[in-house]
């Protein structure tokens, strides 16, 4: 009878032990992460300004962003990480039609492509843990490749004179700087849901663009360029895969 009681006690203890083990593993801090996220890209400053006569204006609209990141804590809460990011913002074609008041409304039509900025950023981050929640703060920098969209304005210069202004696409490299924060909630041993907010800025000098102007039978082409400051606030959500134990409790 005594042996049976011991066996029953051990059997009843197993579910409790398993529950405790599962609880500990779900809350055990991980050293590394790999995350995938996507969301909205909001232009700021001159990049989102819609004043077409202003050469600094980017005429950018809200767009989308995709992120792939990985990091590893090396000393306490401090780690190193890398982040690949691509953001796309369409250019507001209607803002190109900021014409003098003497021009008749509807005499011209504008079309435009989209801004694309691709970055590979690296830098330190700090991870603060509270139960299932964690907050990551980061400061990153790295190379960027930006594409300035092509655009076209066509219509009539006068009642009997057609016109066309066509600017080609431009592409250039620069250095981008970014700072951001991520709030994560632990879903299980190795999976977390996250929401992130990042500010990114880069100044790009485009030198490979051309503008072709046609007025009636006359055509002229000129090499154009200019410096643009691209700045955005990106808000994204996604999943984080956690790995690496500082110690093994079991």
Q: Is 62 among the domain residues?
A: yes
Q: What is the mean pLDDT of residues 31-59?
A: 88
Look at residue 229 and tell me if it is in a domain. Answer: yes
Q: Which residue would you say has higher pLDDT here, 163 or 197?
A: 197
pTM over 0.85: no
In the numeric block, which tokens belong to residue 26?
């779900």
- Domain of residue 62 covers 2-245
Q: Is 217 exposed, middle or buried (0-12, 13-18, 19+ CB in 10 A)?
A: exposed
Query: Is there a contact between 225 and 207 (Cβ–Cβ < 8 Å)?
Result: yes
Whether residue 214 lies inside any domain: the answer is yes
Q: Would you place residue 20 in the very low, low, confident or very high pLDDT band (cuts 50, 70, 90)?
A: very low
Return the bridge partners of 156, or none: 162
pLDDT digits (tens, 9 = 90+) for 144-173: 999 999 999 988 877 778 888 899 999 999
Q: What is the pLDDT of residue 17?
A: 44
Say which CATH number the domain at 104 has: 2.40.160.20
Is there a domain that residue 192 lies in? yes
Q: Is residue 250 part of a domain?
A: no
Query: In this model, does residue 51 exceed pLDDT 80?
Result: no
Please state, for a pLDDT cut of 90, what percent of the chain lies above it: 61
Identify the pLDDT of residue 102.
42
Phi, psi angle pair for 248, to nearest 5°: -115, 105
- In the chain, the number of structural domains is 1
- Decide if 24 is inside a domain: yes
17: left (phi over 0), alpha (psi -120 to 50) or beta: alpha
204 located within any domain: yes
Indicate whether 14 belongs to any domain.
Answer: yes
């Amino acid at each position: 009878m005594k042996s049976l009681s011991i066996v029953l006690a051990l059997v009843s203890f197993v579910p409790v032990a398993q529950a405790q083990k599962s609880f500990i593993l779900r809350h055990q801090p991980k050293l590394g992460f790999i995350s995938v996220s996507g969301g909205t890209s909001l232009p700021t400053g001159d990049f989102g300004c819609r004043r077409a006569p202003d050469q600094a204006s980017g005429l950018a609209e809200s767009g989308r962003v995709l992120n792939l990141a990985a990091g590893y804590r090396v000393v306490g809460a401090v780690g190193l990480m890398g982040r690949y990011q691509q953001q796309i913002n369409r250019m507001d074609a209607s803002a190109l039609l900021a014409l003098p008041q003497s021009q008749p409304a509807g005499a011209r039509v504008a079309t435009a492509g989209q801004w694309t900025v691709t970055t590979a950023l690296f830098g330190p981050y700090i991870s603060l843990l509270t139960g299932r929640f964690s907050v990551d703060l980061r400061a990153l920098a790295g190379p960027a490749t930006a594409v300035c969209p092509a655009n076209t304005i066509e219509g009539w210069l006068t009642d009997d004179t057609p016109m066309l202004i066509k600017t080609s696409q431009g592409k250039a490299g620069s250095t981008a700087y970014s700072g951001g924060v991520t709030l994560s909630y632990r879903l299980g041993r190795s999976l977390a849901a996250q929401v992130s907010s990042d500010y990114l800025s880069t100044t790009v000098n485009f030198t490979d663009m051309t503008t072709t102007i046609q007025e009636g039978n006359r055509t002229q082409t000129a090499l154009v360029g200019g410096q643009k400051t691209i700045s955005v606030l990106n808000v994204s959500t996604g999943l984080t895969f956690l790995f690496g134990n500082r110690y093994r409790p079991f």
